[in-house]
Amino acid sequence: MKSLLAGTSGSGLATASLDGSDVTKVQYHARVPSPRVILEVFSVTNPPVIAIVDDDPSVRRALHRLVRAAGYTVQSFASAQEFLDSSPGRRAACLVLDIHLNGMSGFDLQEHLAADGVGVPVIFITAHHDAPTRERIERSGAAWHLWKPVHEQELLGAIRRAIGLDQGAIDRPDDVN
């Protein structure tokens, strides 16, 4: 992945050949308050895979569309078990994971993956703001966490940081959203 700076603002997807190869996909995002735009370049043949696990079909569908529109390959799962049963899902560059799922919880899935030696960065999402959930998130070692409703740019920024594309990230806030 390469990052470039451009002098315009906005966001979207474009194609370009920056290194003489065929075509690469360019994702651009406005950086606030700067008018410069960060360009993220992924190979069209191998964009990062982002896995989404949420048991709410409308949330899962919305997150899938958002992340796909940002240029990533997306795999969505309705449960932790469905994710575990999918070998392609286990090759994800990042896992966006609801905490409170039917069956195995998001916390349980993260622990299961860690026990199996799968070191995928996890971004927890949840609508539960209770103290036990917050404390467990803090102890989990997750790459990031977001409270529902998830704000689009915060999720995309968390994904970029989790997979190492946002080199400008300094510290993780205590409470996002």
Instruction: Tell me how crowded residue 88 is: count the other CB atoms within 10 A of its CB.
Output: 10
**For 49-162, which CATH class?**
alpha beta
pLDDT in tens, 120-148: 999 999 999 899 999 999 999 999 999 99
pLDDT in tens, 92-101: 999 999 999 9
Task: For the chain, list residues with pLDDT below 70.
Answer: 1-45, 88-90, 166-177
Burial-class residue 75 by CB neighbours within 10 Å (0-12, 13-18, 19+). Answer: buried
pLDDT, residue 47, reads 87
Asked if 83 and 96 count as a contact pair (C-beta separation under 8 A), the reply is no
The boundaries of every CATH 3.40.50.2300 domain in the chain are 49-162
pLDDT, residue 93, reads 95
